[in-house]
Amino acid sequence: GQQVMQIPQYQHVQEGEDFTTYCNSSTTLSNIQWYKQRPGGHPVFLIQLVKSGEVKKQKRLTFQFGEAKKNSSLHITATQTTDVGTYFCAGPDYGGATNKLIFGTGTLLAVQP
Amino acid sequence: NAGVTQTPKFRILKIGQSMTLQCAQDMNHNYMYWYRQDPGMGLKLIYYSVGAGITDKGEVPNGYNVSRSTTEDFPLRLELAAPSQTSVYFCATVSYGTEAFFGQGTRLTVV
């Protein structure tokens, strides 16, 4: 079945440093979504990428979708303490063979003030 | 609009007991999903449904059952609870092709 891996599992940065998490799927994705989960909270949707090679920005966050639509990345510029949490990518298969929504393994970001 | 409502928020079960985790949505979404999240880990898909009367297994269905008699409700049943089922359970809903909306989660401890 579909597997979605993320690296690193955990990253600790000083406030102001940059952060990147990478997402790799075992299968080609029709689109990819990113979610953020604050400690003790539930996942909250950040963005969806659909096109091969697509790049989207949300303030300090930059999201990329690979050309082959099997990988993606999330880059945060100049991290802040409010960025703390776990970042998940997800590969929806709506209308596809399974209709599943499989999440990546997640990257936990810790930001030291 | 309440969105996605999960009850209860917390529960302690004894080994061998059974319980039903409730998930209700008022967004008229067809797709609904149940996940479990073990401490420090990712989200594992337990069961999902693409509409009333249709359910299917996810990655970790053993020990659980679901039903979907209405669009709004998607209860998750635990039979014969085991310590390995200690986890946080999230319900999520999706309108086709868009983002997933999650409930607040149910924190379950089996002792």
Contact A44, B102 (CB under 8 A): yes
* CA distances in angstroms from A16 to A35, A77, A81, A106, A107, listed in the order given: 22, 8, 9, 22, 18
B90–A43 C-beta distance less than 8 A: yes
B-chain residues near A100 (CB < 8 A)? 45, 48, 58
Amino acid A99 reads N
Residue keyed to tokens 């599943």: A100
Q: Give the dihedral sign, CA B25/B58/A44/A30.
A: negative
Q: Reduced to 3 states, what is the DSSP secondary structure of residue B76?
A: strand
Instruction: Please give the full DSSP string across B40-51, using - where no structure is assigned.
Output: T--EEEEEEEEE
* CA distances in angstroms from B20 to B66, B78, B89, listed in the order given: 9, 6, 12
B-chain residues near A25 (CB < 8 A)? none
Specify the higher pLDDT residue, B97 or A4: A4
Amino acid A113 reads P
A44–B59 C-beta distance less than 8 A: no
Q: What digits encode the pLDDT tens for the residues A65-98?
A: 999 999 999 999 999 999 999 999 999 887 677 7
Contact B103, B89 (CB under 8 A): no
Residue keyed to tokens 């898909």: B45
Q: Reduced to 3 states, what is the DSSP secondary structure of residue B85?
A: helix
User: Within 10 Å of residue A112's Cβ, how many Cβ atoms?
Assistant: 11
What is the Cα–Cα distance from B32 to B27, expressed in whole angstroms? 11
Task: Per residue of chain B (111 residues), give pLDDT as tens.
Answer: 679 999 999 999 999 999 999 999 999 999 999 999 998 889 999 999 999 999 999 999 999 999 999 999 999 999 999 999 999 999 999 987 789 999 999 999 999
Q: Is the CB of A100 inside 8 Å of chain B's CB atoms?
A: yes
pLDDT of amino acid B96: 78
Q: What digits encode the pLDDT tens for the residues A17-64?
A: 999 999 999 989 989 999 999 999 999 999 999 999 999 999 999 999
pLDDT of amino acid A96: 74
Q: Is the CB of A40 inside 8 Å of chain B's CB atoms?
A: no
pLDDT of amino acid B1: 67
pLDDT of amino acid B40: 85
pLDDT of amino acid A93: 80
Q: Tokens standing for A112?
A: 């030291």
B50–A99 C-beta distance less than 8 A: yes
